[in-house]
């Protein structure tokens, strides 16, 4: 199976200080990834096309684990018997189709799989219905009691910046990073889609030990939108931090699910929108 690079070369005209020059540049690659789900038992195995997302190649299986978990299709890594790239595809589809075979123990509601996933902010339903659709408990109180400070958050942001390799070369990609409550980086993933980057992080954590997310801090390179809080709620991540702004519906969901939401992280300031008891303001 060929490896697809996460960047693509392009010839551009760069205008700088009155001069125009043709140079080579790197772009973040955007390509489709399709998931085909296999499920059933014995001779009754079935296959269906579950979803297709536009993503940046790399950590595709992390994404698939995270997406399936965020959508409630799987609860643990053991729910997946097999995951591999499909070999019987057209040449242009090679490396862009994943086969996921579920355990027969997984109870699959086919009607729920036909619904429209919350993949963007124009889902066409009201905010109240969107919040009610996120069927998960509030964040369980399984934390060590430690609080985050500005110094820790800035240190985390510096760690993230150092590890965002694709962003350094392209400037056109989102990052999501999971940290322990001691501020140490656990996982970082990048993708053209912010929701994909988070799914990759959740999938990586799920394959190691899903419970580590219960006492973690999620750092996002952009804004906090509803679907990102939705995924954090399902993963039971108690603290979500972003360098950008949150949306109103994202904060409504954070309040509902017990998540501390922090936005506009800068070197000397940040805003806390919900559950400030997890934050140390004594800098």
Position 3 scores a pLDDT of: 78
Confidence of residue 113 (pLDDT cuts 50, 70, 90): low
Q: Which CATH class name applies to 31-117?
A: alpha beta
67-71, 90-94, 232-236: which has the minimum mean pLDDT?
Answer: 90-94
20-34, 117-131, 217-231: which has the minimum mean pLDDT?
Answer: 117-131
- Catalytic residue chosen out of the listed positions 86, 123, 126, 136: 123
Say yes or no to pLDDT of 123 above 60. no
Position 120 scores a pLDDT of: 40
Residue 136 appears among annotated catalytic residues: no
Angle (nearest 5°) at CA 232 between 242 and 263:
20
Confidence of residue 258 (pLDDT cuts 50, 70, 90): very high
**pLDDT, tens digit, for every residue of 52-64?**
999 999 999 999 9
If you average pLDDT over residues 193-215, what whole number do you get?
Answer: 93
Percent over 70 (pLDDT), the chain:
88
* Arithmetic mean of pLDDT over the chain: 89
The one-character DSSP state at 11 is E
Which residue has better confidence, 135 or 203? 203
If you average pLDDT over residues 247-253, what whole number do you get?
Answer: 95
| Strand positions, DSSP E, 30-107 | 31-39, 46-55, 80-85, 97-102
Position 169 scores a pLDDT of: 87
Q: Domain ranges for the chain, please list them.
A: 31-117, 133-278
Contact 276, 260 (CB under 8 A): yes
63-67, 96-100, 121-125: which has the minimum mean pLDDT?
Answer: 121-125
If you average pLDDT over residues 177-194, what whole number do you get?
Answer: 96
| Yes or no: domain 133-278 corresponds to CATH 3.40.140.10 | yes
Q: Which of 214, 226, 187 is nearest to 59 (CA)?
A: 187
Position 98 scores a pLDDT of: 96
Say yes or no to pLDDT of 14 above 70. yes
Kindly give the residue spans of alpha helices, DSSP state H, lying in the chain.
60-70, 110-113, 127-133, 150-163, 165-170, 194-209, 226-235, 248-257
Position 172 scores a pLDDT of: 85
pTM: predicted TM-score of the whole model, two decimal places: 0.90
Which residue has better confidence, 277 or 129? 277
């Amino acid at each position: 199976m060929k490896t697809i690079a996460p960047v693509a070369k392009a010839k551009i005209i760069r205008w700088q200080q009155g001069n125009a020059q043709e140079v080579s540049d790197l772009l973040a690659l955007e390509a489709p990834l399709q998931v085909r789900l296999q499920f059933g038992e014995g001779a009754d195995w079935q296959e269906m096309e579950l979803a297709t997302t536009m993503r940046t190649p790399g950590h595709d299986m992390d994404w698939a684990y995270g997406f399936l978990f965020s959508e409630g299709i799987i609860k643990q890594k053991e729910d997946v018997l097999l995951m591999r790239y499909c070999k019987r595809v057209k040449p242009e589809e090679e490396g862009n189709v994943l086969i996921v075979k579920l355990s027969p123990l997984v109870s699959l509601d086919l009607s729920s799989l036909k619904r429209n996933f919350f993949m963007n902010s124009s889902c066409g339903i009201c905010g109240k219905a969107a919040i009610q659709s996120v069927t998960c408990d509030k964040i369980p109180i399984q934390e060590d009691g430690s609080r985050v400070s500005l110094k820790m958050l800035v240190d985390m942001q510096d760690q993230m910046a150092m590890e965002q390799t694709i962003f350094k070369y392209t400037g056109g990609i989102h990052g999501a990073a999971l940290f322990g409550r001691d501020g140490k980086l656990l996982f970082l993933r990048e993708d053209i889609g912010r929701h994909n980057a988070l799914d990759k992080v959740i999938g990586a954590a799920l394959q190691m030990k899903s419970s580590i997310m219960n006492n973690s801090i999620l750092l996002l390179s952009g804004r906090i939108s509803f679907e990102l809080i939705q995924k954090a709620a399902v993963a039971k991540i108690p603290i979500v931090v972003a360098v950008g702004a949150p949306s109103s519906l994202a904060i409504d969901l954070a309040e509902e699910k017990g998540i501390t939401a922090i936005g506009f992280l800068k070197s000397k300031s940040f805003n806390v929108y919900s559950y400030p008891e997890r934050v140390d303001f004594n800098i």
